[in-house]
Amino acid sequence: MPGFIDLVKVLFRNYYRGGVDLSEINDLERREFGFQFFDKEGMVRHMAFKSSDELRHYLVSNVPSHVYYSSAFTMTRLTRTWTPRVGWVPI
């Protein structure tokens, strides 16, 4: 029998699949994302995505419990691997 966390993950996956409007994130490709998960300690940070479709795929595949994105954005294209950021632009 599935546990409570498994049920919550199913509900979150369904929400990420079609309930959340990712188009509200302006300049998504220039922002950094961070995630917390139901079954892992700490955060996964410094993630970047090329499009809302790529972000949605990540959300549905990994089902984070919390999603964060930067309020500032960089003038250069982000990559999926961490490199020191320069050129942050206030919004």
Cα separation, 73 vs 87, in Å, equals 9
What's the pTM? Answer: 0.79
Supply the DSSP symbol for 44.
E
Within 10 Å of residue 47's Cβ, how many Cβ atoms?
Answer: 20
Mean pLDDT of 32-40: 94
Identify residue 86 by its one-letter amino acid code: V
Structure tokens at 36: 């917390």
Question: Does residue 60 contact residue 44 with C-beta atoms inside 8 Å?
Answer: no
pLDDT grade for 79, boundaries at 50, 70 and 90: low
Residues 3-35 pLDDT 10s = 999 999 999 999 999 989 998 898 898 899 999
pLDDT at 70 over 70: yes
